[in-house]
A = this chain, B = another copy of it.
Amino acid sequence: MSYQAPLQDMTFVLTELCGLAALSELPGLEDATPETVEAILEEAGKFAGQVLAPLNRSGDEAGLGFDNGRVTVPEGWQEAYDQIVEMGWNSPAASPEHGGMGLPFAVNAAIQEMFNGANTAFQLCPLLTQGAIEAIAHYASADLQESYLPKLVTGEWTGTMNLTEPQAGSDLAAIRSKAVPEGDHYRVSGQKIFITYGEHEMTENIIHLVLARLPDAPAGVKGISLFVVPKFMVNADGSLGARNDVRCVSIEHKLGIHASPTCTLSFGDDGGAIGYLVGEPNQGLTYMFAMMNSARLGVGLQGIGIAEHAGQHAAAYAAERKQGGRPGSAGSVAIVEHPDVKRMLGLIKARTQAARVLAYRAAAASDIASRSTDADIAAKAQRRLDLLIPVVKGWSTEMGNVSASLGVQVHGGMGYIEETGAAQHFRDARITTIYEGTTGIQALDLIGRKISRDKGYAMAELLADMDDTAARLDAASGDGVNWAGYAKSLTEATAALRAATNWIVDQAASHSELPQASACAMLDLAGVCLGTWAMADSVLAASARIAAGDSAAFLHSKLRIAEFYRTQIAAQAPALLALVTLGADAVMALDAADLGVSA
């Protein structure tokens, strides 16, 4: 059940499908040559497999201690965290000027997938710190940056994001926490829930980023500001001062990610926690939105990482467990030989590979958007990133859940026994479709801000790229690929996605609420169709390498997995299109009583 980073596929996706060589020509990424990246990924893979993965099961079993506001992490956690800091794995994409490695986001995506896949509960801590770094690096004053960034980047301090309140979950307009000005700082008070790594003692300080309202703030989303609130005050010389007025009042007993403290934080019980405004007043939600892409990409990568881990785990079991015979075999065979077990493992593998391409491509778009010197190219990349993010987050995490469930199923009765570890993936994965915006929220983002707002413009650009791939399939030849079949499948997928997009845009033009009932189907359709495109590009790239003399077995596997994707997953596109365009009326017709809600 040890995790091995899928380095071969990661490198293939980065080099063949994300243009890694071109990324390393962007300003600031010159050091990220394919050779260097390969070496870095190999080291990261070792760390994931040898340090993080072995703590995954033990951390889940041990869980967390909580006593009078103090949180204790499982055995081995501290040592692993210290290594993260020492080896520079805390924030690989952070800028060198702040002490980071300055790796491309695309490469960081692979590293995050590995670390999250190896040990989701652990990696949440660096993930949240990365979010805090990004917020401070982009929006905070030079003084705040100087005080907080260096130790956040190394990981000597960790960061948190404080958004949710009991009455304000998906709807942040309902936030009530307050910040009252006092000299050069503010006094912050209020209660925040579901704060990941909100308290622990692995580092000497924790830097909370907190959404709160100024006294004169307008109601709703336009009156929310962002504050830095350290657990311990930071003196001018960088040393730590008094404990700030924030404490952890409880941690949650959760279905999964047992070793990740999910905290209720109380700010200001003793007069107000000292906080510093980030950027301008009342811009907190704008800043959060700007950071949302990387946070949602990060959670999408959790889904992919867990799917990969669950798939490896199930494949290893299926190779060992003997049960039942097959025609032509004397005695019982390993269950991996049984067609239905192959099918389950194939589903995990094919969707994981497709989702990986989409996620890394989103990350590569982020590199281009933030670094290209050509404004048009950068703007197009930003549109691509914005469009892909809800699909990457929503589809990868739903896929992660299904994959972890299939992993349990492959284990049979043993999958239901906790010590086997398959159940942990299933429990851990379940949060990923919820936090950082539920799948429903991702779907609304997709059909609203990402499709309706620009009347399908960014989607049309993407569909044009899919058309290009289809044309390349039409012109392609080479053994081991059903080229005509793949061209047909991609053409159908593209047509389905185009038709669904048009339906959404048309409905939105009439200000109908109807598309909201189709939003999740649209997200699923987008995932399936973009996955078809990703696998088609994979087939073209693998086939070209084979034609050029590369004999790696991996490339032939890639072709078979892609054909599996085509017939098992891409084939769903027409049904999903029907769901988008024909399924919404019956949803809207339901009243609460139909659903068992008493009037």
The residues of A with any CB-CB pair to B shorter than 8 Å are: 164, 167, 169-171, 174, 193-194, 252-256, 311-312, 315-316, 318-319, 322-324, 326-327, 332, 334, 336-346, 349, 401, 405, 408-409, 412-413, 415-419, 423, 426-427, 430-431, 433-435, 438-440, 443-444, 511, 513-514, 516-517, 519-520, 553, 557, 560-561, 563-564, 566-568, 571-572, 574-575, 578-579, 582-598
A582-B571 in contact (CB<8A): yes
A339-B587 in contact (CB<8A): yes
Name the contact of A517 in the complex, choosing from B322, B343, B561 (C-beta under 8 A). Answer: B343
Nearest chain-B residue to A575 (Cβ)?
Answer: B575
B571-A343 in contact (CB<8A): no
Chain B's nearest CB lies how many Å from the CB of A367? 29
Q: How far is the CA of A445 from the CA of B254 in the complex (A)?
A: 38
A419-B587 in contact (CB<8A): no
Name the contact of A595 in the complex, choosing from B315, B443, B583 (C-beta under 8 A). Answer: B315
Nearest 10 A/B pairs, CB to CB: A575-B575, A339-B516, A339-B517, A340-B440, A255-B423, A319-B597, A564-B586, A345-B595, A557-B594, A315-B596
B169-A413 in contact (CB<8A): yes
Name the contact of A413 in the complex, choosing from B194, B315, B340, B440 (C-beta under 8 A). Answer: B194
Nearest chain-B residue to A435 (Cβ)?
Answer: B413
Residues of B close to A514: CB separation below 8 A: 339
Q: How far is the CA of A86 from the CA of B591 in the complex (A)?
A: 41
Q: How far is the CA of A255 from the CA of B60 in the complex (A)?
A: 13
Q: How far is the CA of A520 from the CA of B595 in the complex (A)?
A: 29
Chain B's nearest CB lies how many Å from the CB of A62? 14
Name the contact of A568 in the complex, choosing from B174, B579, B591 (C-beta under 8 A). Answer: B579
B412-A401 in contact (CB<8A): no
Residues of B close to A589: CB separation below 8 A: 560, 563-564
Name the contact of A170 in the complex, choosing from B323, B443, B587 (C-beta under 8 A). Answer: B323
Name the contact of A434 in the complex, choosing from B324, B345, B409, B578 (C-beta under 8 A). Answer: B409
Q: How far is the CA of A194 from the CA of B412 in the complex (A)?
A: 11
5 A-B residue pairs with Cβ-Cβ distance under 8 Å, sorted by A, are: A170-B324, A252-B416, A336-B592, A349-B594, A349-B595
A326-B513 in contact (CB<8A): yes
Residues of B close to A592: CB separation below 8 A: 319, 334, 336-337
Given A319-B592, A592-B337, A254–B416 Cβ distance below 8 Å? Answer: yes
Q: How far is the CA of A324 from the CA of B594 in the complex (A)?
A: 22
Name the contact of A426 in the complex, choosing from B194, B255, B326, B566 (C-beta under 8 A). Answer: B255
A412-B170 in contact (CB<8A): yes
B169-A340 in contact (CB<8A): no
Residues of B close to A426: CB separation below 8 A: 255, 430
A587-B346 in contact (CB<8A): yes
Residues of B close to A575: CB separation below 8 A: 571-572, 574-575
Given A592-B319, A592-B336, A583–B557 Cβ distance below 8 Å? Answer: no
A418-B254 in contact (CB<8A): yes
B560-A342 in contact (CB<8A): no
A595-B346 in contact (CB<8A): yes
Residues of B close to A598: CB separation below 8 A: 319
A327-B579 in contact (CB<8A): no
Given A323-B171, A324-B170, A416-B431, A595–B409 Cβ distance below 8 Å? Answer: no
Q: How far is the CA of A568 from the CA of B519 in the complex (A)?
A: 13
Residues of B close to A253: CB separation below 8 A: 417-419
Residues of B close to A520: CB separation below 8 A: 340, 343
Residues of B close to A553: CB separation below 8 A: 593
Residues of B close to A342: CB separation below 8 A: 517, 587-588, 590, 595
Given A332-B174, A336-B592, A516-B338, A563–B583 Cβ distance below 8 Å? Answer: no
Name the contact of A418 in the complex, choosing from B255, B327, B415, B513 (C-beta under 8 A). Answer: B255
B587-A519 in contact (CB<8A): no
Chain B's nearest CB lies how many Å from the CB of A403? 13
Residues of B close to A431: CB separation below 8 A: 416
Residues of B close to A519: CB separation below 8 A: 339-340
A416-B516 in contact (CB<8A): no
